[in-house]
């Protein structure tokens, strides 16, 4: 669909898309405490798994 838009530039789309998604995600999860807590818990779990897989199931980082 985007390529059909007059003046569409693939490189500009690639440059801007991360920031657009990030802004939307921050807005969405910032408005809903339960979603924010879930996302942060998930992110910490992922980081824990990558940093020290043997402690991934530990409740403390």
Indicate the number of domains in the chain: 1
34 domain-assigned? yes
Q: What is the pLDDT of residue 18?
A: 93
The answer to whether position 6 is within a domain reads no
Residue 7 lies in a domain: no
Residue 23 resides in a domain: yes
- What confidence tens digit (pLDDT) does each residue in 51-61 have? 555 554 555 54
With respect to residue 1, please indicate whether it lies within any of the assigned structural domains: no
Q: What is the pLDDT of residue 52?
A: 57
Supply the Cα-derived Rg of the chain in whole angstroms.
17
pLDDT for the residue 20: 94
Calculate the alpha carbon distances from 26 to 6, 12, 13, 29, 41 in Å.
Answer: 30, 22, 20, 5, 15
Q: Residue 46 falls within a domain, yes or no?
A: yes
Q: Is residue 4 part of a domain?
A: no
What is the extent of the structural domain holding 36? 15-51
Rounded Cα distance between 8 and 45, Å, is: 39
Q: Say which residues have a Cβ less than 8 Å from residue 2's Cβ, sequence separation at least 6.
A: 8, 13
2-61 pLDDT, tens digit per residue, is 668 888 888 998 999 999 998 988 888 788 888 778 777 777 776 566 655 555 455 554
């Amino acid at each position: 669909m985007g390529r059909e838009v007059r003046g569409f530039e693939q490189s500009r789309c690639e440059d801007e898309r991360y920031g657009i998604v990030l802004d939307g995600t921050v807005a969405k999860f910032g408005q809903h405490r339960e979603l924010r807590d879930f996302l942060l818990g998930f992110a910490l779990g992922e980081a824990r798994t990558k940093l020290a897989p043997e402690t991934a199931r530990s409740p403390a980082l």
